[in-house]
Structure 1
Amino acid sequence: MKSLKPRVSLHQAECFRLLQERFHFFDDTAARCDKLLKGEYGETRVDEVLSCFFDGFDGIYISDLRLNIDFQQVQVDSLIVLDDCVLVFEVKNLSFDLHAADGLFYMMSGEPFTALNDQLARLKKLLRAYVAQFDPYIDVIVYPFFINDSQCIHGMLLRGDVLATSNFALVLAKYRRRFNWRSTVPLVNHLMKRSVPNDFDKKMDIDYSKVTKGTYCSVCYNKVERISQRKFRCLKCNTDISTAAVISNGVKEISRIWPDKPITTKLVTDWLGESIDKRTIQRVLSKNYLLTKGNYEGWHYK
């Protein structure tokens, strides 16, 4: 299966992930960002599950696709374009149980889960109508995919139209086949021409001066300790990290949180809490990045 559009983390979620041990977030911001991270984790896991399941078979996989159809925006977590149909996946990483009946979802109290029901109905209506403009014989199947293993969807059928980690292989097995995937390109182009930027991805404004400086793990984001001239150790992950990797991770963190901030030796030295000497940082930057001169920023690395 070919992957066309990789998933990109939202700036707010990425900032929260990188700064959760360095910066104080207000409770409402932390709760919102934690929800974003939880959703991104579920979507990324579905990417991995579907890529592995369809490995060796044909189709085009597209993730995080936002479409403007008839002046309405619709967000698609993941979809697979096959030779005769489009599989659409609405990913949910929820921690509470639900009941499924007659194509609708209900809370365990019996109250309709209106937000999800309306979301799925809107996805089906807009995507089916738009794909029908290209070819009315191409079917569009929308699957809600509940990725949290600890969640229970009561009433879910093993071979029904609701996916979970326990049954997705049984439901999707009929779609694993070989064909000339290039035949799907015109439909993919039809979809992509309605693609619009994610206007939900608002830049998070973080005051650099209020962020704790130092060396932190790129996996668990906790502080790492220096154990030798060339090595650091993350006690939480129980892994060693080279000094060069710590410097490179620092550059990536700065570039992601403050994309407009020019990367200089002085900035990276400050960001790492001056735990690594300036000459070492300059050597690593010179080896891995291009030194350039901007119009206003002076000399910096790219």
Structure 2
Amino acid sequence: MIEKTLKKPHELLIYEALLSRIPFSKKEESYFHNLKLGYEGEEKFEQLLKEKIDDQFIVISDLWLEVHTTTFQIDSILLTGDTLCFFDVKNYPGNYIHAEKRWYKLPQKEINNPLLQLKRNETLMRQILLELNVDLAVDSYDVFINPEFTLYQAPVNKQLIFPTQIPKFIKELVAKPPITSLQHSLAKQLIARDLGKYPHPRIPTYEYHQLTKGFRCGKCCRLTVYIEGRNCVCSKCQQVEPVHGALLQNIEELRLLFPDKKLTTNLVYDWCGGGYSKKSIKRFLEKNFRSVGTHKWVYYL
């Protein structure tokens, strides 16, 4: 059973909301790409566990934990009757090589050795279990989820799970003994310690007046949408979606980017690029949000 499901990171939501509205630097583009790739890998692995793991085990996704002022992230935890297994999911595409205990993306870009990070997190997880007075074995794994990943000169290490090994690895996990009340209690305690959002987000600086306004396409994410009857149509990819769905998505992005701004008809009209009538926006807000104030001072929650 999944006790805590994976949620899209706040940083990634911000980047997606800013996409096409403000130009990213090369560094920001790279960071956004890695955020998206990482989330997609974790999502794929969680889905695998969801399909294969039954109620005799507990799955906890995406925890930010702290021990002795040190924070660390765990992509996924599987609690069995005798082991806490945790996984660092790597969605690396392309060719890599292991040489002299160092990792390189070919041809010659050195990357962090994932095993070093894994060992650090394993040590911190053991310290948390010690604080909780829980005596449970800890196994940690780097799971390489991308089918296009290749590691040349790969070390023989049971903590490294490569794409072709994943099916057999999952079968070995489900053969472990079922959970007891100890694991149920531990799951609740670990989730209670979750810090939530990443404590040191790297979000681009932006102001409302800097952002391009308009409806965003739900498929290609471009701001190339026009209203046709009750639908939004993208002039780039020809995606068609109900206008109320697109309007709600636009409003959610607006509230995400500017949580302190009062949600008014005029603000939403401007945010949508003037492409939808104020009268229709007002009706939508009255139907889907709670109004506060009267006449020209009304806003919505």
Q: Is TM > 0.5 for Structure 1 vs Structure 2?
A: yes
1:118-157 matches, cutoff 5 A: 118-134=116-132, 137-154=135-152
Give the structure 2 partner of residue 37 of structure 1.
36
Question: How far apart are the structure 2 equivalents of 1:182 and 1:200?
Answer: 35
Task: Return closer, same or farther for 1:160/1:20 CA change in 2, 3 Å cut-off.
Answer: same
| Deviation of the 1:199 alpha carbon | 0.9
Is residue 132–residue 138 contact of structure 1 (8 Å, CA) maintained in 2? no
Q: Matches of 2:116 and 2:49 in 1, distance apart?
A: 25
2:217 alignment partner in structure 1 = 217
Structure 2 partner of 1:229:
229
SS of the aligned residue for 1:65 comes to strand
Secondary structure at the counterpart of residue 86 of structure 1: strand
Q: Is the 8 A contact 1:94 1:151 kept in 2?
A: yes
TM-score by length of 2: 0.84
CA distance in 2, matches of 1:18, 1:225: 15
**Bigger shift: 38-47 or 179-188?**
179-188
Change (3 A) 1:148 1:193: same
Secondary structure class of the residue paired with 1:220: coil
Distance, in Å, in 2 between the alignment partners of 1:81 and 1:300 is 47
Q: Matched residues in 2 for 1:110 and 1:224: separation?
A: 39
Q: TM-score normalized by structure 1? A: 0.84
- Structure 1 pair 53/23, CA: closer, same or farther in 2 (3 Å)? same
Q: Which piece of structure 1 moves more, 165-174 or 209-218?
A: 165-174
Q: Which moved more, 1:267-276 or 1:212-221?
A: 212-221
Instruction: Report the Cα distance in structure 1 between the residues aligned to 2:180 and 2:215, rounded to whole angstroms.
Output: 46
**C-alpha contact (below 8 Å) 2:8/2:39 kept by paired residues:** no
Counterpart amino acid of residue 31 in structure 1: S
The offset of 1:180, in angstroms, is 5.7
- Partner deviation per Cα, 1:174-194 (whole Å, 9 max, x = no partner): 322684665422212342454
Native 8 Å contact 1:105 1:116 kept in 2 = no
Instruction: Report % sequence identity.
Output: 22
Counterpart secondary structure, 1:167: helix
The residue that corresponds to 2:24 in the other structure is 25
Query: Deviation digits for residues 34-79 of structure 1, max 9, x if unmatched?
Result: 322222222222222322232x343332222111113322211121
Cα offset for 1:99?
A: 4.7
Question: Secondary structure of the residue that 2:24 maps to in structure 1?
Answer: coil
Deviation at 1:156, TM superposition (A): 6.0
Q: Is the 8 A contact 1:42 1:91 kept in 2?
A: yes
Q: Specify the SS of the correspondent of 1:90.
A: strand
CA contact (8 A) 1:159 1:171 kept: no
Conserved? CA contact 1:57–1:176, under 8 Å: no
Number of corresponding residues:
297
What amino acid is aligned across from residue 94 of structure 1 in structure 2? Answer: Y
Helix, strand or coil: the match of 2:275?
A: coil
Q: Are the structure 2 counterparts of residues 301 and 16 from structure 1 closer, same or farther at C-alpha, using a change threshold of 3 Å?
A: same
What is the SS of the residue equivalent to 1:196? coil
Judged with a 3 Å threshold, the aligned counterparts in structure 2 of structure 1 residues 26 and 98 are, in CA distance, closer, same or farther, namely closer
Pair 116,128 (structure 1): closer, same or farther in 2 beyond 3 Å: same
* Maintained 8 Å contact 2:21/2:213: yes
Within 1, Cα distance between the matches of 2:181 and 2:236?
46
Relative to structure 1, is the Cα distance of residues 160 and 37 closer, same or farther in structure 2, using a 3 angstrom cutoff?
same
For structure 1, which segment, 127-136 or 248-257, has the greater mean C-alpha deviation from structure 2 after superposition? 127-136
Residue 285 (str. 1) matches residue 285 (str. 2): yes
Counterparts in 2 of 1:292 and 1:202: CA distance versus 1, 3 Å? farther
Q: How does 1:193-208 map to 2 (within 5 A)?
A: 193-197=192-196, 198-202=198-202, 204-208=204-208
